[in-house]
Amino acid sequence: MQVLHTVSEQPFWKRKKLTEMTREEWESLCDGCARCCLFKLEDEETGALYYTQVACRLLDFKTCRCTRYQERSKLVPDCITMSPENPEVFSWFPPTCAYRLLSEGKDLPRWHPLVSGDPASVSRAGITIGGWAIPEDEVDDVEDHIISLDTDSDLEQW
């Protein structure tokens, strides 16, 4: 006889909408990849979004976390602060981002710390930007640093 899991045994991200999550649950969705801290360029004619390898000056490249998280929006006016109340900004986040994935009705990848149980799994899966991103103060022209993120294989690996 097969035992089925009850709804209450499902992880919170499978049971709740983003708007129903507690602040702690919401914050735990961040996997610490720092891809959201990469500079992005938008083609004004097509709306296409291009990632660069240039990262925000507030990023700690060793931890892949913002050094001034609570005040980032004041210090970096272009920093997008996401919340369940502004889902329209999710498209500016990488396709591997938990917030974006869940808003699109998708599940978290196996390398996500909430799934793997290990915060280092993001780095082992090659998702973090710490080893290859460039601090913004070392760059003259951001357009010279456009990259392609292979997000499909990033979601499938592991």
pLDDT band of residue 85 (cuts 50, 70, 90) is confident
Residue 157 has a pLDDT of 44
Residue 152 has a pLDDT of 53
Report which residue type is found at 86: N
Ordered alpha helix ranges (H), the chain: 12-15, 23-28, 72-75, 98-103, 113-116, 121-124, 151-156
58 neighbors 38 (Cβ within 8 angstroms): no
Spatial separation of the C-alpha atoms in residues 44 and 56, rounded to whole Å: 22
Instruction: State both tokens at 141.
Output: 């022209």
Strand bridging mode 49-55 / 134-135? parallel
Rounded percentage of the chain residues whose pLDDT exceeds 70: 89
54 neighbors 134 (Cβ within 8 angstroms): yes
pLDDT band of residue 151 (cuts 50, 70, 90) is low
Residue 154 has a pLDDT of 52
Spatial separation of the C-alpha atoms in residues 101 and 137, rounded to whole Å: 31
Per-residue pLDDT of 90-139, as tens digits, reads 888 888 999 999 999 999 999 999 999 999 999 999 999 988 999 999 99
Report which residue type is found at 99: Y
